[in-house]
Amino acid sequence: MQLPNAAGVHLGQQVMWHAVQGRLAELLPSLNDFVERHPRILVWRSFRALARLAQGDAIGARAEFQTLIAAGFTPAKRGVNLRSYLAGLGALCVGLRDREHAQRLYEMVTRRPEPWAVDGCMTLGPWALLMGSLARLCGRRAEAAAHFEEAIVLGRRMRARPVVAQAQSLLVAVQLGGDLDAAARARASEALAEAEQTARELDLVDVLARIARLRAELPAAVGGREPTCCAARATSGSCASVARRCG
């Protein structure tokens, strides 16, 4: 294997796990170095932007996103890393809450024929997880909930516990936008308990943070009270979590 390819595979493995855990900011130095040495490999620029966003540099992340959007969507349609590129771009869109491009990216993701975003030796989870976050950003709450439910099924089938925990917490976040009766509240509490156990065992810091916010909102949601801004922020998810984003 050529050295740039080997380095890319190694970086991909790091991105995959750090994104799942909500620790992508820790990879910013490595992502900066790789992008500087291989500027024509666009896939890592979206993840670098996500790392910047996780560090609090929303201006830098948005500038990178706008540059990638201006370059067109061809890298997300064909190429060696098209799935990773599309997944990263979609997660960045969610993290930035960029509604202007959310619909276009949602349509592109829904056209993917495979259930999981897999390139080479890395996966960024099932497409349903990203579709749910993009649908939520587009204001399509029912579709978002259906996508997160699908992500839970796919995650359980593959025994991908981080995916299940991420999807469970995001599904509850969406459900808080509607009326919850006692039974629905009980189901939501059970889902959060399972997700929290997984998140603690695997150190999924972004999932734990989202669950903490949702637990504060859950009792007040009974009777149809509108969730506060904390619950609204908790509805963003992505690939990842690839994405910290607003999760």
The pLDDT tens digits for 135-158 are 999 999 999 999 999 999 999 999
In Å, how far are 22, 74, 93, 206, 214 from 169, measured between CA atoms?
Answer: 14, 33, 20, 10, 8
> What is the pLDDT at residue 242?
45
| SS3 of residue 222 by DSSP | strand
**CB neighbours of residue 29 within 10 Å:** 9
Beta strands in the chain (DSSP E): 116-119, 122-126, 239-242
Phi/psi for 168 (5° steps) reads: -60, -45
> What is the pLDDT at residue 3?
53
Write out the two tokens for 202.
């695997």
Q: Which residues partner with 200 through β-bridges?
A: none
**DSSP letter (8 states) at residue 226:** P
Mean pLDDT, each 10-residue run in order, the chain (247 residues): 68 92 96 91 93 97 97 86 94 98 97 93 94 98 98 98 98 90 92 98 97 86 43 45 44
> What is the pLDDT at residue 239?
53
| 112 closest CA partner among 142, 132, 82, 140 | 82
Instruction: Please name the residue that has the structure tokens 């690839």.
Output: 242
> What is the pLDDT at residue 246?
44
> What is the pLDDT at residue 8?
78
